[in-house]
Every structure is written in structure tokens, then in C-alpha cells.
């Protein structure tokens, strides 16, 4: 019998995506050299490559869920901006001297936006070729990555998660194999650390990504929606998740939304009600905080300098959390042989 919670989750997500999409429209440049750019917060005119890609995903996801193309013009303008500044953000290779420290995240966000577009028939032709190039750059980067301590824009779990989801969607065996090899080497399938044990290094500008959550999500994407993964989540992951909304000095709304996103995915795969309970607790607190008049959640946190108003990254991660009970990329059928039993020997991180 279909899970009644999952059966109704798409309809319940539509109002959230509609409101999030409308808030992002307010920050999109309507003209000038940066036409189509979605600024990171109200009053900021900076070009925001990954933020604009996040907006594309929210808008396309709304259309896929609601069947309503109201944001189609905004997506077109956003893609025009992204393509116009592409070479400033997507390098031919990611290395210490060849790219910015946000390049891997930018590539991953290209793939997330592409996933949204593919669900409504977009991201083809020349645009599809550009996106495929970003996927190959990201795969090569992960193949050579030894330092797994990166956070936020250097979060390896987020990069692998998006690469694998994209590879499944386009049925690219090479990219999928590359993503899986990285997950095997980097994460294995041992029990993760307690989520709230993640460090909060002083002086960092960002703390928006829970690296433990993204690693779990990368493993789910790598292994797929299988009984093996469901058992792993129930036996090794559930004891590590937060009891509820966790306090963080910076970006706590983003960080908790990132955790909620993997809680939702974990429930879909494992059916363990504890994951659903924690997902709901976190999302309820995010909803309580989401009171901005121009439709958007702030990054949150107590440190001086945190932007109190709506922020694109907060909107994106909150949307991922809302969408987690709707989507299940891991349910996509496998396109390459994979022996899950080998993963029990992966390294703990």
C-alpha cells in the first residue's frame, strides 16, 4: 500500500515552492548587464552564479509539481545570465591555481538546476552540452580529491550527491561510475558521526551545509533506493541525527534545512518514522521563522553580520527539505552494475 504521507507530499509542497519562487522573482535583475541574475539578498546587486542556479531549480521544480509555467520567463532570463557569465565561474578544470574556491559548488549547482529543467523537458541542445561539461569537470575534481574536510562551497558530499543524481537522470554510466567510486573511497558505509558534532570554525563566513548530512545523501544517491540502504539508515544513521532544530552560531537555518533534506530522503528509503519525526520538527521551526514579508527565509545564526532578511541559499536548502518527501532519485533504476556488499569496508570519516 502506498505511504499516504508520500502520496500527498507533492500537493503539500506546491504552496511552498510557489511562495519561494515568488520571493526569488523579487530579487531578479529585470534589466541591465546582469539581467536575469538573482541577488543573494534584498538590496544586494552582486552577481550570484550559484544563487541564480538555485532559483532556476526552485522555479523549475514548482512547474514540475504544479504544472504551472508562471516562472518560465524568469528561468529563461536566469539561464541567459548563467550562460553569459559561464566562463567566469565554470573552469576547464578545478585546481588550486585554476579555479575559485567556489568552483566545485558552482558545478554542483549547475547539475541541480539541470535536474529541475530535465523534469519539465529543458536543459537540451547547446545548454545541455554546457551542463555536461560542468559534470565532467566535477567528476575529474572528485577523482583527484584527497582532502575531505571541506565545508560549504568545498563540501565533497554535496558535490558527489549532485553529480550522481545528474548521472542517473541522463543515464551516463561514466559519470555515475565516477561518482560512486568517489563515495566508496571517501565515505564508505560505516556509521556517520553525530550530526551536531560538526565543527563551527571561528572566523568562517559560512556554515550553510551539514557535511554529515550531504555525505549520507551522497551514499543514498550512490546506492539507490534498496533494502540494503534502508537497513543501513535504520541501523547506522538514525542514532546520529539531531533530536530537533540544532543551534549554530552562523547559518543555522541553512544548516538545519540541509539536515532536514536528508531526513526526508532517509524516510523515503527506510520508512523509519524517526526520520520523518525529525524532518517535521526541523521544518516546523523553519516555517515558524519564515515570516519575511517578501517571502524568504534568512540564513540565521547569532553572530554579528549575519543577514537577517531573505537569502537565496536559505530559500534553496529549505526547498530541498520540503522536496525531500516528494523526490526520490535513488528510486531510479540502476544503469550500471554495482556490488553494494563491497561498501561495508569503506573508511569511516
Given a cut of 50, is residue 278 above it in pLDDT? yes
**pLDDT tens readout for residues 213-269:** 999 999 999 999 999 999 999 999 999 999 999 999 889 999 999 999 999 999 999
Assess contact for 167 and 222: CB atoms under 8 A: no
Given a cut of 90, is residue 93 above it in pLDDT? yes
Q: How far is CA 37 from the centre of its chain?
A: 20
Residue 13, classed as helix, strand or coil, is helix
Given a cut of 70, is residue 37 above it in pLDDT? yes
Of 71-80, 93-102, 184-193, 283-292, which range is least confident? 93-102
Closest CA to 209 of 244, 166, 260: 260
Q: How far is CA 23 from the centre of its chain?
A: 19
Name the domain count of the chain.
1
**pLDDT tens readout for residues 281-333:** 999 999 999 876 545 777 775 444 455 578 999 999 999 999 999 954 333 33
The helix (H) or strand (E) run that includes residue 105 is helix 103-118
Domain at 147, CATH number: 1.50.10.20
Domain boundaries, position 310: 4-345
Give the torsion through C-alpha atoms of 256, 260, 266, 271, to 10 deg: 130
The helix (H) or strand (E) run that includes residue 283 is helix 273-289
Residues 6+ apart with CB under 8 A from 77: 28, 35, 36
Average pLDDT over residues 191-217: 91
Average pLDDT over residues 52-74: 98
Give me the helix-helix angle, 312-323 and 252-270, nearest 10°. 20
Residue 332's pLDDT is 36
In angstroms, the CA 344 to CA 184 distance is 9
CB atoms under 10 Å from CB of 227, counted, come to 9
**pLDDT tens readout for residues 43-52:** 888 999 999 9
Residue 343's pLDDT is 40
CB atoms under 10 Å from CB of 269, counted, come to 25
Assess contact for 315 and 23: CB atoms under 8 A: yes
In angstroms, the CA 91 to CA 81 distance is 17
Given a cut of 50, is residue 348 above it in pLDDT? no
Assess contact for 116 and 56: CB atoms under 8 A: yes
- Residue 302 phi, psi dihedral angles, 5° rounding: -95, -10
Average pLDDT over residues 102-123: 96
Task: Give the CB-side neighbour count of residue 254, counting CA atoms within 13 A.
Answer: 25
In angstroms, the CA 332 to CA 327 distance is 10
pLDDT > 90 in the chain, percent: 76
Assess contact for 16 and 66: CB atoms under 8 A: no
Residue 334's pLDDT is 41
Amino acid at each position: 500500500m502506498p505511504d499516504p504521507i508520500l502520496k500527498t507530499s507533492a500537493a503539500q509542497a506546491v504552496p511552498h515552492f510557489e511562495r519561494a519562487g515568488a520571493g526569488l522573482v523579487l530579487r531578479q535583475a529585470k534589466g541591465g548587464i546582469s539581467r536575469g541574475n538573482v541577488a543573494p539578498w534584498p538590496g544586494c546587486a552582486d552577481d550570484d552564479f550559484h544563487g541564480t542556479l538555485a532559483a532556476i531549480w526552485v522555479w523549475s521544480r514548482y512547474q514540475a509539481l504544479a504544472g504551472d509555467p508562471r516562472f518560465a520567463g524568469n528561468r529563461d532570463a536566469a539561464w541567459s545570465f548563467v550562460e553569459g557569465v559561464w566562463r567566469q565561474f565554470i573552469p576547464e578544470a578545478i585546481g588550486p591555481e585554476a579555479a575559485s574556491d567556489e568552483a566545485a559548488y558552482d558545478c554542483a549547482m549547475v547539475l541541480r538546476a539541470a535536474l529541475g529543467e530535465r523534469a519539465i523537458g529543458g536543459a537540451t541542445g547547446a545548454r545541455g552540452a554546457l551542463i555536461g561539461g560542468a559534470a565532467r569537470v566535477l567528476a575529474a575534481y572528485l577523482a583527484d580529491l584527497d582532502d575531505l574536510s571541506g565545508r560549504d562551497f568545498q563540501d565533497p558530499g554535496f558535490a558527489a550527491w549532485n553529480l550522481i543524481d545528474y548521472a542517473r537522470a541522463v543515464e551516463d554510466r561514466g559519470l555515475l561510475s565516477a561518482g560512486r567510486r568517489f563515495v566508496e573511497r571517501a565515505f564508505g558505509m560505516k556509521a556517520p558521526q553525530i550530526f551536531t558534532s560538526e565543527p563551527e570554525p571561528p572566523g568562517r563566513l559560512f556554515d550553510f551545509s551539514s557535511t554529515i548530512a550531504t555525505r549520507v545523501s551522497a551514499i543514498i544517491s550512490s546506492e539507490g533506493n534498496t533494502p540494503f540502504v534502508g537497513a543501513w539508515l535504520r541501523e547506522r544513521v538514525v542514532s546520529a541525527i539531531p533530536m530537533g532544530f540544532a543551534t549554530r552560531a552562523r547559518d543555522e537555518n541553512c544548516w538545519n534545512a540541509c539536515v532536514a533534506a536528508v531526513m526526508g530522503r532517509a524516510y523515503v528509503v527506510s520508512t523509519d518514522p524517526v526520520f520523518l519525526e525529525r524532518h517535521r520538527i526541523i521544518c516546523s521551526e523553519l516555517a515558524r521563522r519564515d515570516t519575511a514579508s517578501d517571502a524568504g527565509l534568512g540564513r540565521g545564526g547569532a553572530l554579528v553580520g549575519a543577514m537577517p532578511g531573505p537569502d537565496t541559499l536559505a530559500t534553496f536548502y529549505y526547498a530541498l527539505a520540503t522536496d525531500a518527501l516528494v523526490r526520490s532519485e535513488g528510486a531510479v533504476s540502476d544503469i550500471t552494475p554495482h556490488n553494494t556488499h563491497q561498501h561495508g569496508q569503506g573508511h569511516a570519516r
